[in-house]
Structure 1
Amino acid sequence: MLSLAARRLARPPPSHVVRAFTASAARCTPSLSDGEQTIHDKLTAKFAPSQLKVQDVSGGCGSFYAITIASEAFSGLSIVKQHKLVTETLKQEIEGIHGLQIKTIPQ
């Protein structure tokens, strides 16, 4: 009989892979998926962020994204208003996905 540790090592890797890419507003990261790049471009154009991270956390199928964005545009606004600005900017993209996680950082 295999020990618990040996059984864990024998398991195949998970069928999904979480891809994490961070791109500053000043440069384009060619390793982003099409969906990540579209979101990145729209948010960069609208908010000129000092920090922007767009992640497809659905294993690459484009159904769930996690976004972290830092911008002066969020200064003085409530979190609800900050998130509303982001979701309004991504209205077209949101129609085709199942979930969106947003973290805004006022500068």
Structure 2
Amino acid sequence: MPMQAADIERMIKEAIPDAKVEIKDLAGDGDHYAATVVSSAFKGLPKVKQHQMVYAALKGNMGGVLHALALTTSAE
């Protein structure tokens, strides 16, 4: 069963409370999303660490229920 955009957003916000999250379904199939995540928690961190924080928030759903997620992250 595909993951809903609202679930992705909720999980990210639970892990990164100040995050501003925008999710787009790229293919209309619930498997391929793009996410823009802005959080002060990313300040001073390289992109790799920022993305790792988002993937950790998804609690192992990446590559399974959630097939693809194109990430854009920033501190502001």
**What's the C-alpha RMSD, in Å, of the aligned pairs?**
1.6
**Alpha-carbon distance in 2 for matches of 1:75, 1:52:** 16
Moved over 4 A (4+): none
Normalised to the residue count of structure 1, the TM-score between the two structures is: 0.61
Which of the two has greater strand per residue?
2
Residues in 1 aligned to 2:59 and 2:16: alpha-carbon distance in whole angstroms: 15
Percent sequence identity is 30
Which structure's CA Rg is the greater one?
1
Q: Relative contact order, CA 8 A, sep 6+: which one is greater? A: 2
Between Structure 1 and Structure 2, how many residues are aligned?
Answer: 73
Unaligned segments of structure 2, at least 5 residues: none
Q: Distance in 2 between matches of 1:89 and 1:51?
A: 14
For 1:84, the aligned partner's letter is: Q
TM value normalised by structure 2: 0.83
